[in-house]
Amino acid sequence: MPEGQIVRALSGFFYVRTPHRDIRCRARGVFKKKKWSPLVGDWVTYEETDATEGWVTHLHPRKTELVRPPIANVDQAVVIGSFLEPKVQSELLDRFLVHAERAGLETVICLTKSDLLPDSSEEKALREIYEAADYPVLITSVHTGEGIEELKRALKNRLSVFAGQSGVGKSSLLNAILPSARLQTGEVSRKLGRGRHTTRHVEILDLPGGGQVADTPGFSQLSFGKMEATELGRCFPELAERASDCKFRGCLHKNEPGCAVREALTTGEISGTRYRHYLQFLEEINEQRRY
């Protein structure tokens, strides 16, 4: 039976891309019985009913899976924040980075709207924090063209997901690297200080130089679901790197004696902002476990 990749899901239909055409499919009833939910990015086996429609009959095993945005088989997350309108929220940025690490994705941080910066001090501060945590940081502007070619190279030959707070410029960036997409963009609400959602669903777009990128709706929050407290440290690369030097196995890096992470914090090797977010997330996880 033929196979393909789900590139869009809308109103109960799954659009399966093949080398020759896209097939609009529904999922067989067996999926509901087994509580399987096809996602954009899934590779599937399907059965044609005519030249343009069919039924998804089988889901292939997934390499990776994200819950929000809901997508499968992503290689890389491009987490987008903007310098202004809306201003980047490092806590929200760190929250998504944790989810990307837990899903086993490579991650690139892309900071947009550099043309709105009055000086380079904020850019320098953010670079220092995240490059010290071993994250690549790209600085971009769709108006000046800064960083666009570098972003194209980072996307080549991978399935990447664009994710970030609404209004940060995900669709504008995609239009810059793939003008044929002509994605709708929206202005930031000055009253609320955040963007209006312009992307309504997850969709995979093919890039002319090789590779694919997924446009996704903006997100405002991400909970930690069933994550265990002992997992969280592994999702902060700079903490995970030092955890083996802690005195106690399973150290949570709060107030345990002989903690190598806290020692690195006092010497400035670890960002105080990142560490505070780690403690905040740890408390959230512990609160969830109580209920």
Any binding-site annotation on 246?
yes
Any binding-site annotation on 221?
no
Any binding-site annotation on 113?
yes
- Say how far apart CA 271 and CA 275 lie, in whole Å: 6
Any binding-site annotation on 169?
yes
Any binding-site annotation on 167?
yes
Any binding-site annotation on 114?
yes
Any binding-site annotation on 166?
yes
Any binding-site annotation on 25?
no
Strand partners, 212: 159, 206
Q: Tokens 């089988």 identify what position?
A: 58
- Residue 220: Cβ-neighbour burial (10 angstroms; 0-12, 13-18, 19+): exposed
Any binding-site annotation on 188?
no
Dihedral sign, CA of 35, 39, 43, 47? positive
**268 Cα distance to chain centroid:** 28
Any binding-site annotation on 235?
no
Q: Strands, E, within 143-283: which ranges?
A: 159-164, 188-189, 194-195, 203-206, 212-215
Residues with Cβ < 8 Å from 215, sequence gap 6 or more? Answer: 162, 170, 171, 174, 181, 183, 199, 202, 203, 205
| Coil, strand or helix at 102 | helix
- Say how far apart CA 110 and CA 45 lie, in whole Å: 35
Which residues fall in the annotated binding site for Zn(2+)?
A: 246, 251, 253, 259
Which residues fall in the annotated binding site for GTP?
A: 112-115, 164-172
Which residues fall in the annotated binding site?
A: 112-115, 164-172, 246, 251, 253, 259
